[in-house]
Amino acid sequence: MVFKNFIFGVTIRVVFMAVFISMAAYNYLSTGFSLLFSIWVLFAVIVMFNLIHYCNDFNKKVTKFLESIRYADFNSNFSTNNKKGKTFKTMNKAFNEVLNAFKKIRSEAETQNLVLYTVLQHIQTGIISFNSNGRVGIINNSAKKLLGIGQMKNIEDLEVVNQQLHETFTKMRPGQNFLIKTNPETQLSINSTGLKMDGQYWTLVAIQNIQNELRKHELDAWQNLTKVLRHEIMNSITPISTLVSSLNDIIIEDAVQTEKGDYSIEEESYQDICDGLKTIENRSRGLLRFVNAYREYSNIPETNIEVVNVKILLQSISQLLKEDFQNEKIELNYEIKPEEMVINADEELIEMVLINLLKNAKEALLEQDDRKITVKAFNNGQGLGCISVTDNGPGIEQSKLDRIFIPFYTTKKEGSGIGLALARQIMQLHGGDIKIFSTPGKETTFSLHFRV
């Protein structure tokens, strides 16, 4: 509307100027130079200057408005009591409305930035951002405290404080995670992500001291382990102690001293003592097996990570278990997509995990008529390589799933409860994970997840 009025104002002035020039030309051609000719020329000049002033005034208003936006000077004001007509009054009012809207937006943005800054400075997590040149953009108080530095304008400033931290931040790439122990009381968990601002790539880093959390989890782990050990040991020691007491009573009550000074005992009592000693032997061996299982669980060798062809790995395992599965009439199927799929892993340890999962699946199918096990290998599209083992057995109840990876917990009569706990520990050493999904009465799936 403003610009339509402006065009109309310009058009009127141009029309008047054209009329005055035409009248001046007509008089000049009719009478030559005369007073009337001079008057028409004067009017044309006056209209021309008025047009120039009118356009300049409009341009000045527009320029002032655009510069206010450019330099974020939203306190500028355009008078709505303009004497130059309705056009300028309407334009000034529109400019003021736009500037007030920008002013309101900036005020809200400043309020949000203030809130974010306050939150950033008061959270316990350290936050720091830096660009590809190492220049620090944001660093909060928690980050300064955790890094042990007062001020930091560049990542190079860390070299004076801690050489290990400096090397970590220098080599850090978006998406990487690190654990660094800077002193006995500080274990830093450092997580990074990348973002792009103003055409520059920045690395945003979150830093947390997880020492207290680690101690809490360590204490919980020891308490849980102590409960398991106490439970297993008491299960063996209590009946042994009771049985020894009973055998002692038998000997005291039934042993008879002969004339030669020897002792004799009735055959029935003798048989009871033999049975009791046999039971003690069996329980002692069971306790010894438990101790050996614990030693096996706690002494996993270091991983030797290398590129492993999944197809060759599964073929090797299939050849090893082929006869055993055929004897049990179990159908074993493999699906590998893509066929040339590889993973970064310790081949021997992963082979041990897969053999354990396949044997568990086999044992779950022994009471089934239709026995099938499917092994699938695939990339899940999220940077993870997966190998899953699925059986169509009876499944596992939800209440048992939550404890399935706890050391020494087992759902089998002859199980040690070590296999799955060992499998999880091995996968964690690979930086991966093992997961379980089970539908009672239908199937159970264990899946191994690797970094590709």
Angle between helices 86-122 and 2-31 (to 10 degrees): 150
Tokens standing for 339?
Answer: 């066929």
Q: Which fold would CATH assign to domain 122-210?
A: Beta-Lactamase (3.30.450)
Starting at the edge strand that comes first in sequence, how are the strands of the sheet with 200-209 ordered?
136-139, 126-131, 200-209, 186-197, 177-183
pLDDT tens-place values along the chain, 452 residues long: 445 566 677 788 788 888 888 887 878 787 777 777 788 888 888 888 877 877 777 777 777 777 777 767 767 776 665 555 566 667 777 777 777 787 788 788 888 878 888 888 888 888 888 888 888 888 888 888 888 888 888 888 888 888 888 888 888 888 888 888 877 778 888 888 888 877 888 888 898 888 877 777 777 767 766 766 676 677 667 767 777 888 888 888 877 777 677 777 777 878 888 887 887 777 777 677 667 766 665 666 677 888 989 999 898 888 778 778 888 888 889 999 888 899 988 888 888 889 889 988 888 888 888 889 999 999 876 667 899 999 998 888 887 877 777 766 666 655 556 678 878 888 888 888 889 999 888 899 999 998 75
Are 310 and 343 a contacting pair, CB within 8 Å? Answer: yes
CA angle 105, 110, 116 (to 5 degrees): 125
CA distance 341 to 449: 13
Tokens of 129: 């951002």
Domain 214-298 has CATH 1.10.287: yes
Domain map of the chain by residue range? 1-110, 122-210, 214-298, 306-449
Give CA separation, 15 vs 8, 25, 87, 165, in Å.
11, 15, 18, 77
Give CA angle at 386 (380, 388), nearest 5°.
120
Beta strands, E only, 89-159: 126-131, 136-139
Q: What is the distance between the alpha carbons of residues 436 and 159, in angstroms, rounded to a whole number?
A: 45
306-449: CATH number = 3.30.565.10
